[in-house]
Amino acid sequence: MSAVGRVHSAGARTTLDRPSAAARPALQQQQHQRRRSRRGAPAPRAGPASANGAPAVAPASQKPLVGLPGDTYAKIQDCVRYVRAHSSLVPEIVIVLGSGLGAIADEIDAPVALPYADIPHFHAPGVAGHPGRLVLGLMRGVPALVLQGRFHFYEGHPMDEVILPIRMAKYLGCTSALITNAAGGLNPAYSPGDLMLLEDHVNLIGANPLRGPNPPELGGPRFLDLSEPYDPEYRALIQEAAAEVGLPPLRQGVYVGVSGPTYETRAEVRLFRSMGADAVGMSTVPEVIAARHLGVRVAAVSCVTNLACGLVEGKVSHDDVMEQGAAAAGKMQRLLVAAVPKIAAAAKQSAAAKAHAK
């Protein structure tokens, strides 16, 4: 072994401890290369002991990925098996109900209701206004799956579990999604109780549900185009439904999704308005992204429960959100009941056209 850099037991260094001037550049280059190698190489993973007793490093092909692709698919299949054990109905549309809107599930005929707490990998919502039930049945003759409430990212759930109900819905048979939420109004022209059709969104949640492995079983693209997340045909059909049930034309605007659970500051409200956003909420965006990734056509409606701080005096509270959501539930209910058959018919027509084109 070279004496260069060796520390003697007595603690003193000899002249042999110092490399010569001629050798220094070569040694410095070697040290630099070793440092680069250490930075670039993955940390060894402890494995079975080798012959000399040291932990063996598993070959790269045997190292597990963070979040195995199979885990996501397995969770979906667990959910599907559980639901199918309780109902043979194949739903065509999934309806997600936001804060205070759970009563819309009462429109389901021959319902089969399953508490979220009983469904594998689901969570019981910890927020008032979210009953936490999956309801299968018929809405005006259309096989439908209603999600009474959601579990949110701000409750601490992993993003892949936040979107699990939507992914499960696809594997149960849903090709369309109608998503609702309670939102704060950013547009000063809006009033509490207004309904807004989402025509686009801004994702400020701080996470993307497609981050991580892209399981091949899901069949979705690695890089998803979101130039038109909300289906224009479905939006037009919902406006038709509004007219049929005597509602004024729905607002149409941009929804900004934030993580919550805090309501917005005045500065944030000014920022969101400068970005062109009309409403703000703590959900919906992950579900929309997950649905579009699986080829599910999406429409979404916000119930404006309050105007954001700075637009009106006073503070925002969840009790106010609940109260306004309940007050608007009647017209949201009439709207959805009228819209679901239209959306189902359009989906069937589109599927038939695609099949004929093949």
Euclidean distance between CA atoms 276 and 187, whole angstroms: 9
Total residues found in the chain within this entry: 358
* Residue corresponding to tokens 């599910």: 296
Interior angle at CA 205, CA 152 and CA 153, nearest 5: 15
Q: Is 32 a catalytic residue?
A: no
Active site annotation includes 154: yes
Q: In the annotation, is 182 catalytic?
A: yes
Is position 282 annotated as part of the catalytic site? yes
**Catalytic residue (choose from 73, 121, 155, 199):** 155
Number of Cβ atoms within 10 Å of the Cβ of 317: 11
Instruction: Show the DSSP H helices in the chain as ranges.
Output: 24-40, 69-86, 159-162, 164-172, 232-244, 266-274, 285-293, 318-357
Please give the backbone phi and psi of residue 133, each rounded to the nearest 5 degrees, phi first: -135, 145
Is the separation of the CB atoms in 205 and 258 below 8 Å? yes
Catalytic: which of 182, 308, 328, 347?
182
Q: Is residue 181 flagged as an active site residue?
A: no
Catalytic residue among 130, 277, 279, 329: 130
Cis status of the peptide bond prior to 286, with omega within 30 of 0: no
**21 catalytic residue (yes or no):** no
Q: Which residues of 111-123 are buried (b: 16+ CB within 10 A; e: fewer)?
A: bebbebeebbbbb
| Catalytic residue selected from 86, 121, 157, 318 | 318
Q: How is residue 95 written in tokens?
A: 């309806």
**108, 139 Cβ separation under 8 angstroms:** yes
Residue from 86, 154, 157, 233 carrying the catalytic annotation: 154
The catalytically annotated residue of 277, 283, 338, 344 is 283
190 is catalytic: no
Q: Across the strands, what pairs with 95? A: 146, 178
φ and ψ at residue 228, rounded to 5 degrees: -145, 75
Catalytic residue among 105, 279, 282, 328: 282
Q: Check if 43 is active-site.
A: no
DSSP string, 154-218: GGT--HHHHSHHHHHHHHHT--EEEEEEEEEE-STT--TT-EEEEEEEEEESS--TT-S---GGG
**Which of these is catalytic: 87, 99, 176, 302?**
99
Return the active site residues. Answer: 99, 130, 152, 154-155, 182, 282-283, 306, 318
